């Protein structure tokens, strides 16, 4: 890819992000119980990534990594943001960061946001966006949601998934003749689930056996979200209905792009901010669905599909990839320079999608962090280090893909534990900004004490 694209030769980008969805919750990833025909449609016309990981298994830091290409111990957001989105305490947490939307805006793209922001100061348009229809907070009621339009906090009327879709469709219509970037950030399928979704979709799952969501014995680390939902069929029906209603909106977006004759000129990406368990391992939630925090596959692995007919090959990619790879990948696809001085940990995986043998394809690790919890994940092993609190996890994924046998204290595996720990320390040392280090107990977040009481189901 050489030379800067201009005018109509520069592809549009639609980035669709769901909220709290594991790969298991999509038909194209093998679930024949949940209906996601439009996510599946993207997979049929593009590349499905089978080993794509969020940078943090909770929303705000994960979203910040997607947008900036930097890990939490660089951009500084380590937890969901509950008190800095509105009002006198609003904080623009990413003020000093370079987002890929800054780069796109500087190169002539119109940039629009429809849906969840949740990275501070929701009233303010930030980082190159010229359109800003944002959720005031990180989540809430699905009907008559708290939104932001033209810098004003409003209570909009309707079902939030449909409202986000409608604003996205309008943006596509207004910018169909010029390069545009559009973030469609759904709040689905985040809680609440009961009495919160179109009843006809909820009822369509009345007879579902939910074999894809085994309601296992309660995990000893589970918190109140699990206590309220484990074994509850109405919660399962609501979660599935939230996904299916969102999928219908995704279908409308694809159809609208096609109606403008732009499918070959538009990169459509679908992903989720973090994974989720609906009874798997005996808990409901993501990384903060347990205390101590977990890094189970259902929490850290997310669905990711890229589709642009004629530009993105059709198939399945099983390389280990991370959200911190997304920014350099997108800029590579658009022939835009990666910003200097950011010490980005990721690299473009466009060559991998094109079938090229690259150093990135041969690397065997991805890394996650969630405050004082860090993870290294290889094709065969996962090591989770819980600084200060413990206990650690060591799973041999080849023999134990469901992560049932923790080998961290097994005398026979201490050499492997030390090797993985050393690799993890070396990687983080390369990128961490000391004053933003998630391992620090003196960071702006309270990792202990009353933090456990406010974890629950918020994010």
What is the pLDDT averaged over residues 336-352?
A: 94
Rounded to an integer, what distance in angstroms lies between the CA atom of residue 296 and that of residue 286?
8
- The predicted pLDDT at position 442 comes to 41
Residue 89 pLDDT class (50, 70, 90 cuts)? confident
Check residues 326 and 81 and name the one with the higher pLDDT.
326
What is the pLDDT averaged over residues 103-111?
A: 97
Whether residue 212 contacts residue 33, with contact meaning beta carbons closer than 8 Å, is answered with yes
**Stated pTM of the model:** 0.94
Rounded to an integer, what distance in angstroms lies between the CA atom of residue 249 and that of residue 256?
11
Please give the domain boundaries of the chain with CATH numbers for all domains.
10-356 (3.40.720.10)
- The predicted pLDDT at position 86 comes to 84
Q: Among the ranges 1-5, 77-81, 429-433, 450-454, which has the highest mean pLDDT value?
A: 429-433
Instruction: Report percent pLDDT > 90 for the chain.
Output: 85
Residue 6 pLDDT class (50, 70, 90 cuts)? very low
Question: Over 70: is that where the pLDDT of 459 sits?
Answer: no
- The predicted pLDDT at position 329 comes to 97
Q: Strand 47-49 vs strand 304-307: parallel, antiparallel, or unpaired?
A: antiparallel
- β-partners of residue 381 are 396
Rounded to an integer, what distance in angstroms lies between the CA atom of residue 34 and that of residue 241?
9
Residue 362 pLDDT class (50, 70, 90 cuts)? low
- The predicted pLDDT at position 30 comes to 98
Whether residue 406 contacts residue 395, with contact meaning beta carbons closer than 8 Å, is answered with yes
pLDDT tens per residue across span 256-300: 999 999 999 999 999 999 999 999 999 999 999 999 999 999 999
HEC letters along the chain: CCCCCCHHHCCEEEEEEECCCCHHHCHHHCCCCCCCHHHHHHHHCCEEECCEECCCCCHHHHHHHHHHCCCHHHHCCCCCCCCCCCCCCCCCCCCCCCCHHHHHHHCCCEEEEEECCCCCCCCCCCCCCCEEEEECCCCCCCECCEEEECCEEEECCCEHHHHHHHHHHHHHHHCCCCCEEEEEECCCCCCCCCCCCCHHHHHCCCCCCCCCCCCCCCCCCECHHHHHHCCCHHHHHHHHHHHHHHHHHHHHHHHHHHHCCCHHHEEEEEEECCCCEECHHHCEECHHHECCCCCCHHHHECCEEEECCCCCCCEEECCCEEHHHHHHHHHHHCCCCCCCCCCCCCCCCHHHHCCCCCHHHHCCCEEEEECCEEEEECCCEEEEEECCCCCCEEEECCCCCCCCCCCCCCHHHHHHHHHHHHHHHHHHHHHCCHHHCCCCCCCCCCCCCCHHHHHCCCC
Query: What crossing angle do the helices spanning 326-333 and 59-68 adopt, rounded to 10°?
Result: 30
Which of 27-41, 132-146, 354-368, 401-415 comes out lowest in average pLDDT? 354-368
Question: Over 70: is that where the pLDDT of 313 sits?
Answer: yes
- The predicted pLDDT at position 361 comes to 59
Q: Strand 110-115 vs strand 180-185: parallel, antiparallel, or unpaired?
A: parallel
Which of 123-127, 169-173, 255-259 comes out lowest in average pLDDT? 123-127
- The predicted pLDDT at position 456 comes to 38
Whether residue 249 contacts residue 189, with contact meaning beta carbons closer than 8 Å, is answered with no
pLDDT tens per residue across span 188-240: 999 999 999 999 999 999 999 999 999 999 999 999 999 999 999 999 999 99
Rounded to an integer, what distance in angstroms lies between the CA atom of residue 226 and that of residue 442?
30
Residue 51 to residues 11, 175, 298, 349, 378, Cα–Cα distance (Å): 26, 33, 11, 13, 11
- The predicted pLDDT at position 458 comes to 40
Whether residue 272 contacts residue 58, with contact meaning beta carbons closer than 8 Å, is answered with no
Residue 450 pLDDT class (50, 70, 90 cuts)? very low
Q: How many residues does the chain have?
A: 459
Question: Over 50: is that where the pLDDT of 337 sits?
Answer: yes
Rounded to an integer, what distance in angstroms lies between the CA atom of residue 17 and that of residue 253?
13
- The predicted pLDDT at position 93 comes to 86
Rounded mean pLDDT of the chain? 92
- The predicted pLDDT at position 146 comes to 96
pLDDT tens per residue across span 64-74: 999 999 999 99
What is the pLDDT averaged over residues 156-170?
A: 98
- The predicted pLDDT at position 84 comes to 76
């Amino acid at each position: 890819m050489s030379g800067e694209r201009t005018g109509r030769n520069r592809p549009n980008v639609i980035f669709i992000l769901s909220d709290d969805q594991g790969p298991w919750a999509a038909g194209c990833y093998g679930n024949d119980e949940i209906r996601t025909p439009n996510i599946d449609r993207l997979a049929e016309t593009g590349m499905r990534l089978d080993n794509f990981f969020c940078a943090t298994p909770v929303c705000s830091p994960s979203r910040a990594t997607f947008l900036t290409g930097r890990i939490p111990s660089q951009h500084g957001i380590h937890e969901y943001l509950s008190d800095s989105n509105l009002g006198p305490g609003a904080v623009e947490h990413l003020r000093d960061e370079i987002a890929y939307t800054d780069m796109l805006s500087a190169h002539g793209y119109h940039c629009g946001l429809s849906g969840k922001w949740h990275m501070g100061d929701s009233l303010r348009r930030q980082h190159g966006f010229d359109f800003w229809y944002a959720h005031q907070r990180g989540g809430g009621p699905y009907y008559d949601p708290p939104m932001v339009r033209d810098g004003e906090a409003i209570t909009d009327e309707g079902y939030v998934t449909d409202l986000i879709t409608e604003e996205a469709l309008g943006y596509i219509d207004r910018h169909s003749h010029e390069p545009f970037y559009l973030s469609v950030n759904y709040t689905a399928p985040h809680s609440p689930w009961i009495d919160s979704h179109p009843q006809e979709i909820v009822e369509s799952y009345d007879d579902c056996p939910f074999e894809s969501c085994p309601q296992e014995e309660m995990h000893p680390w589970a918190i109140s979200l699990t206590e309220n939902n484990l074994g509850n069929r109405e919660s399962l029906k609501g979660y599935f209905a939230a996904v299916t209603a969102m999928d219908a909106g995704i279908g409308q977006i694809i159809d609208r792009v096609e109606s403008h004759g732009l499918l070959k000129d538009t990169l459509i990406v679908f992903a989720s901010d973090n994974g989720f368990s609906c009874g798997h391992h005996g808990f409901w939630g993501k990384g903060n669905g347990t205390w101590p925090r977990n890094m189970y596959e259902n929490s850290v692995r997310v669905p990711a599909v890229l589709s642009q007919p004629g530009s993105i090959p059709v198939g399945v990619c099983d390389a280990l990839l991370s959200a911190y790879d997304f920014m350099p990948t997108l800029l590579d696809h658009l022939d835009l320079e990666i910003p200097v001085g950011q010490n980005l940990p990721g690299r473009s995986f466009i060559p991998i999608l094109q079938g090229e043998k690259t150093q990135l394809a041969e690397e065997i690790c991805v890394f996650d962090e969630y405050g004082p919890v860090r993870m290294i994940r290889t094709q065969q092993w996962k090591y989770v280090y819980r600084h200060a609190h413990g206990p650690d996890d060591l799973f041999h994924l080849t023999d134990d893909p469901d992560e049932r046998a923790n080998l961290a204290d097994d005398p026979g595996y201490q050499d492997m534990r030390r090797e993985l720990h050393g690799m993890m320390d070396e990687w983080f040392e390369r990128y961490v900004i000391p004053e933003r280090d998630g391992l620090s107990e003196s960071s702006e977040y309270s990792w202990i004490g009353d933090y456990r009481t406010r974890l629950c189901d918020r994010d």
